[in-house]
Structure formats: C-alpha cells, structure tokens
Structure 1
Amino acid sequence: MKKLFTLTFVLSFILSMAQTDYHFPEESSRHEGTWLQWPHHYQHGMTYRKRVEQTWVDMTKALQSGEKVHIIAYNAEEKNRIIHILEENKVPMKNMDFKMYPTDDVWIRDNGPIFVKDNKGNVLIEDWGFNGWGEKFDFENCDKIPQRIGKDLGIKVIDLNEEMVNEGGSVETDGNGVLMACKSSVISQKKEATRNKGITQEEAEEMFETYYGVSKVIWLDGVTGLDVTDMHIDGFMKFVNHNTMITMNENDLLELGLSDKDIKTLYAASNTDGKEYKKVYLPATQNKVKTAYGKQLDEKGSYVNYYVANTVVLVPNYGDPNDEVANQMIQGQYPERKVIGIDVRNLYENGGMVHCVTQQQPAGNLLN
C-alpha cells in the first residue's frame, strides 16, 4: 500500500510539473505567420476547388502585409498554379513561402500543428491525433501535416497521436488558464462521432491542462451528428481576452442547435478569478446563406468564426445585411487591427468559415 501511495504521489507530482511546461498563446498575441492548406482538385474535384479558391486568395492578400503566409500546396504543379493565381490577383509575394505536402482537404485548424510555447518562451509543435472528425472523411494525408511541418522547420514536435485526437477548432482558450469545449466533439463515445475511444472527461482535462497549460476546463454538451464536426465551439463562441467572450444571443444559439442547458453554462462561464466573462453578442446573418453561385442553403451564417492576425482580423462575410453590423462590432474589440470581411459563402456550404482554415504560428525562437 505504501509503495502504491508513493507511486501515485510521484505520478501526480510529475503531472503537476508538466502542466507548467506548455502554454498555448492566445490567437491575438504576436504571430510569426499563418498557415494555410490550399484547396486542390485531387480529393473533391475541380468544381470544389474553383468555388472556394477565391477565399484563399482574399485571405492571403489580407494577411501578407502583417505576417508571413505559409502556403501548403499539394505538389509542385499546384504550387506553380497558386503562384500564378496570386500574381493575377496582384497579391505581393515577398512575405510568403510554400511547402509541398499532399493533403486531403483545407481544414488546417483541425489537422494542423498546434504551436505552443515552453516555459522558456520557445515555440514548438504539438501533434495531436486527427481522424477525420470520427472517420467521416479521409484523413491520412492531413494527419501527417504537423510532423511534416516540424521536420521542415527543424522544430521539436511532441507526438500525441497515440494519446488523444484533438481538433484545433474544438477548443477555445482565454490565454489565462481557461479552456472551453463541447463534449460532443472531444469525448463523445457515440459511434458516428468517436475521436477517442474509451476516454474519460477527467483524462481529456488532464491532457488539456498539461499541453495547453490551462487550469480550468468548461464543458458544454454540444450535439453529436449536428454537423461534420459534431459542434465545434469556434462556430459560436470565442474569447477576446481573459475577461471577454464573443458569442451570440439566445435565439441564434438555439437555432444553431445549442440546448438551453448549454446556453446557461456558456453565459455563466467565469475566468480563473471567478469573474463572469463580459459578453459581446454578434448577430447571425439576417437571411439564410446563399452561395456565390446561387445555391440556397438551409442555415444562417455565424460571424464568430473569425481569425485574429497581427494587423488584421478576418471576418466571415456572406453578402448579408448583417455583414457590416458584425464587422463593426468586431472592429470595436480590436481597435488596433483592421477588420477585413472575407467572402465565405461557398466555403460555408462545406461546413466551415475563416477560423477553420487558418492556423497561427506564434512569434518566438523555435525549439530544436
């Protein structure tokens, strides 16, 4: 019994020490650059690529003046084609680079590297597992992206593939010790949504505490099967800082599929000081989204899925009257950055917006 107690104490001590080793910097902190996986035709066809590609051109044009843009092209032929498209759109090329890796799709927020800092401020990569949102889609190429980037950058990679599947869009952190997530897209054991077979809530929390550097995890139930992601939190909630969150009003959240219970939990959430977050309520689109090529979709659009870069904030826009309302509200939260609306109508048909297809690399020395 004494040996068991000693072993438990040692393991607990090691875990507590590990919790201080890594910190996930808030998105609004200084970036070295932004990573994008460029859409291609190899997986979903030429029509798909042509319909969504302008969104990547617009994001690259907006980002390149304030930070590096790292573009992942499927192969050398695609790299040359992308360069030609960017030049046609008069996008300056001086602040970007290209990597050539085969990918299954564009959702680098979910499959890409999670850049964190150690306790000395050095940047490294966490490579969490990715299984195509519970094996709904092919994922083998995208699952390799963090390791490929780590090798090319010569940066230390912590391989967590055997420990836990975790998609970047399924968690939100306030930069000061709090992480929020939906159980439906992290620990659900329903067959159509399983990321981590047999994982418990406590085990997931320990992983987040250790590798995101948080001390408090707030769970919403979420909804399994509502969409491909099984309700990623970055579609309806985002921390501005450790005092403020951006979300939506109750009716819009209900329309998105949240339960009354989840809305109460979200609205009552507090930071590590026990203070309830100040809330900014963005509207949904006034109308259900219609794609740029004329297809009427069944859902309204969310503006919460925006991306904060060094000098700009990229906000999903839908050709809707509420675009300007949301842009101005978000601008008020980031007065030193310029809000730029990015047309995501065609991308939205495939289940995502701006935050879903971007991944930040924080500024700092790379840990080799």
Structure 2
Amino acid sequence: MPTTPDKTAATPILPAGLGFRMPAEFAPHEACWMLWPQRPDTWRYGAKPAQQAFVAVATAIAESETVFVGVNDEQYENARNQLPAHVRVVELSSNDAWMRDVGPTFLTHPDGRLALVDWEFNAWGGLKGGLYFPWDKDRRIRTKIAEMLGIPRFEAPVVLEGGAIHVDGEGTLLTTEECLLNPNRNPELSKTEMEGVLADYLGVEKVIWLPRGCHLDETDGHVDNLCCFVAPGEVALSWCDDEADPQHAISREALDVLQNATDARGRTFKVHKLPQPGPLCIAEEEASGIDRLSSSHPRQPGDRMAGSYVNFYIGNAVVVMPLLDPTRDDQAREILQRLFPEKQVIGVPAREILLGGGNIHCITQQQPQP
C-alpha cells in the first residue's frame, strides 16, 4: 500500500476509497500518545510545574491503556525519572507538547489494518498569527510515528490540527468555521472543498459546522475545547449562563446549530451542557515565569484563558478531566460521570496546562484498536 496518495494517477488513492475511516474517541484504544513539555516561552519556570501536570495526566490514562510519551533527547532522563515505569518514554523530538495537533489522526480498516493521516501543520496560523516559530520538529512527528508503528501514512494537502475535528465514528464530524475556514490555514479552499477533503481522508459523510470556538481560544477556535461527541448522536457543549460573558453568545450559537441539525444517520443531537469554569485569567506570578520571545505568543497578567471542561480525554476505562475551578469542578465531574457510567472519571489539576494554551485533550492523541 502506498504511504502517500498517488499523485500520478488520474484518481488519487485516498484513505476513504480504500476503506479506512477515523473511529470515535470513545471506541476502544490500543494506546495514547503524548509529548513532554519543556518550551520556556510556553511553560513557566522551565516547564517544571507543567511536567508535573503531564505526569498526572499520563498516569491517569495509563490506568486503562498504554501511554507513549515522546521526549526530546535532553529531557529523556528527566521524563523517564518522573513518569511511572509502565508509561513508555520514547525519543521523539518536538517544538512543543501539543500531541493532539502535531500528532497523527489514526484511521482503522474493517480488515484490522491501522493507518494515519499526516496533515500539514503551521503552528496554528503560520507567519500570520501562528503561536511560535519554527515548527520543523513538530512537522516530522507524524512521519516518525508511522515509521515506529510500521503503518501507512497518507499525506493530506491541507493544514489541519487534530483539535479542530471531532467524529462520532458513524459518519459525522464536528468542527468550527472559525478554525477550518480561517484564511491563515487554507485560504484557497471553500467550505465545500474542505468537506470533500474530510470525506476523502477520514471517511466522514456529514460535517456539522459550528460558527466559533471558545472565547479567546488561541488556536482560532478548536472544536475540542467547545463541543465533543460523547456517544453517537450525543455531544457535550461548554456552556455559560452569564449573558454579559462573550462565551454565552458563542455557546448559544453552537446550541442553535446543533438543535437544528441531524447527524449522518439522521439522528437529532442530544446536547449535554458542561458549565464553563471561571472565567479564568493569568495571575501576575504565573506570567512572570515565562520567557519572552518575539517568535512566540505573549502571555500577560490578566489575560483571560479559554478554560473548558469539554477538553477531557476519553480512555478505555477512564475519562480524564481537567480540574480548573473549585466552584465548578464537582458539578462538571458529576455530569461526566453520568455520561460515562461505565468509566472512572479522574480529575487532574490542569491549570498549568491551561496556562500553556490548551488542556488535557490538546496534549493527548488516541491510537485506536485496529
């Protein structure tokens, strides 16, 4: 099987045409992939507090599936000593630690084969709004993982991050117009053309376009911070009741779209509201420990962060959720436990991850069982 589409053929060989598709996150996993944080202009105090949070996330997920953590060589011993022995540490160089976005989108085939999609990556906007430069090491991660696993790699001709999409495994994909139609990603593609790419590479049949992502989300509105599938026909949506908060209008818009849409199987959506934490802002002492570089995204005291309980990870036997706000954590945990009664909901203190610009879902990428 070719590892890339055959550009010389009249009809390129694309994953969906070969029978591959992207399964839902709530389908069984073979493993979870993460990266180790160390970038000093993203993570404060040399990433030491963030590393503790990543260890907690990896440990929780490893309760029910193998966890791989990719590490730059100079951090290998540090990571190996901090992570539990059953978490597998591999040398896998990166520019930062957002595996959801720089890692592969895995595909499965009915005959038991595994493959991956290698999207283009430009650090969430390239030189026109991107969050750091360079991103050369991040760009090679998908190729390296394909080599490590010995599976086909399909190169996709579009810029797309894993956090920009969420699927139900039955033909439906969630995304936002703010992200996938942003001119700093693929300015030459129309909405219809983007839908064609998603169908060709992921095997989806219907795309649900939400207007915007969470307020001030620096990824240009990734859907995984706003809304995600928890079961076929069911989604969790970050919700804000305060009409004076900009997030209220965003969540309301998304709810209107979902209530007036059907999925690929013709089902109407059942929407479960998760309360928004906070609002959460960067404290003075949290901003002071970050290196200031011209090539990276500034983080200033008082800046509001795009905190969301929707940014959780669905494991085989666990759901790992961020703990972000003592006044809302328990309510969010109770809702998630109702949505996943057969799984253990584990809360992990995740403010350090949020300070870097994302959360638990952003730093993880599931490898499905073939």
After superposition, what is the alpha-carbon deviation per residue over 1:181-221, rounded to whole angstroms, capped at 9, x for unaligned?
112211222xxxx1113111121111111111111011123
Matched, 1:288 2:280: yes
Deviation at 1:158, TM superposition (A): 1.2
Matched, 1:228 2:218: yes
Over aligned residues, Cα RMSD in angstroms? Answer: 2.7
Using a 3 Å threshold, how does the CA distance of structure 1 residues 275 and 20 change in structure 2: closer, same or farther? farther
Matched, 1:207 2:197: yes
AA aligned to 1:143 is R
C-alpha distance in structure 2 between counterparts of 1:45 and 1:239, whole Å: 29
Using a 3 Å threshold, how does the CA distance of structure 1 residues 55 and 274 change in structure 2: closer, same or farther? same
Matched, 1:311 2:317: yes
Using a 3 Å threshold, how does the CA distance of structure 1 residues 187 and 68 change in structure 2: closer, same or farther? same
Which of 100, 103, 107 aligns to 1:116? It is 107
Matched, 1:182 2:179: no
C-alpha distance in structure 1 between counterparts of 2:279 and 2:40, whole Å: 33
Matched, 1:238 2:228: yes
Which of 298, 301, 304 aligns to 2:307? It is 301
CA contact (8 A) 2:30 2:368 kept: yes
SS of the residue corresponding to residue 132 of structure 1 reads coil
Using a 3 Å threshold, how does the CA distance of structure 1 residues 324 and 128 change in structure 2: closer, same or farther? same
SS of the residue corresponding to residue 111 of structure 2 reads coil
SS of the residue corresponding to residue 125 of structure 2 reads helix
Tell me the residue number matched to 2:330. 324
Matched, 1:141 2:132: no
Deviation at 1:44, TM superposition (A): 4.7
C-alpha distance in structure 2 between counterparts of 1:212 and 1:33, whole Å: 20
Using a 3 Å threshold, how does the CA distance of structure 1 residues 133 and 107 change in structure 2: closer, same or farther? same
Moved more, 238-247 or 264-273: 264-273
AA aligned to 1:128 is W
How does 1:1-368 map onto structure 2 within 5 Å?
18-19=16-17, 21-41=19-39, 44=42, 47-75=45-73, 77-86=74-83, 91=84, 93-94=85-86, 96-135=87-126, 136=130, 137-138=132-133, 139-160=135-156, 163-189=157-183, 194-222=184-212, 226-249=216-239, 251=241, 255-256=246-247, 258=250, 261-286=253-278, 288=280, 298-299=304-305, 301-364=307-370
Using a 3 Å threshold, how does the CA distance of structure 1 residues 19 and 181 change in structure 2: closer, same or farther? farther
Moved more, 269-278 or 208-217: 269-278
CA contact (8 A) 1:43 1:104 kept: no
Q: Which has the larger radius of gyration?
A: 1
After superposition, what is the alpha-carbon deviation per residue over 1:1-34, rounded to whole angstroms, capped at 9, x for unaligned?
xxxxxxxxx96xx899944622111111111111
Using a 3 Å threshold, how does the CA distance of structure 1 residues 291 and 68 change in structure 2: closer, same or farther? farther
SS of the residue corresponding to residue 90 of structure 2 reads strand
Deviation at 1:222, TM superposition (A): 2.1
CA contact (8 A) 1:289 1:345 kept: no
Unmatched 5+ stretches in structure 2: 1-9, 287-300
AA aligned to 2:339 is Q
Deviation at 1:98, TM superposition (A): 2.3
Tell me the residue number matched to 1:3. none
Q: Percent identity between the aligned chains?
A: 29
CA contact (8 A) 1:252 1:283 kept: no
TM-score if structure 1 supplies the norm length? Answer: 0.84
CA contact (8 A) 1:37 1:71 kept: yes
SS of the residue corresponding to residue 22 of structure 1 reads coil
AA aligned to 1:125 is L
When the two structures are aligned, how many residues end up with a matched partner?
340
SS of the residue corresponding to residue 240 of structure 1 reads strand
C-alpha distance in structure 2 between counterparts of 1:236 and 1:225, whole Å: 9
CA contact (8 A) 2:115 2:151 kept: yes
Using a 3 Å threshold, how does the CA distance of structure 1 residues 343 and 46 change in structure 2: closer, same or farther? closer
C-alpha distance in structure 2 between counterparts of 1:156 and 1:284, whole Å: 39
Moved more, 17-26 or 135-144: 17-26
C-alpha distance in structure 2 between counterparts of 1:17 and 1:45, whole Å: 37
Tell me the residue number matched to 2:5. none
Deviation at 1:316, TM superposition (A): 0.9
SS of the residue corresponding to residue 265 of structure 1 reads helix
TM-score if structure 2 supplies the norm length? Answer: 0.84
Using a 3 Å threshold, how does the CA distance of structure 1 residues 182 and 98 change in structure 2: closer, same or farther? same
After superposition, what is the alpha-carbon deviation per residue over 1:229-273, rounded to whole angstroms, capped at 9, x for unaligned?
111111110111112111133636963362754442133332223
C-alpha distance in structure 1 between counterparts of 2:259 and 2:25, whole Å: 22
C-alpha distance in structure 2 between counterparts of 1:264 and 1:255, whole Å: 16
C-alpha distance in structure 1 between counterparts of 2:33 and 2:99, whole Å: 8
CA contact (8 A) 1:246 1:281 kept: yes
Deviation at 1:57, TM superposition (A): 0.8
C-alpha distance in structure 2 between counterparts of 1:324 and 1:259, whole Å: 21
SS of the residue corresponding to residue 32 of structure 1 reads strand
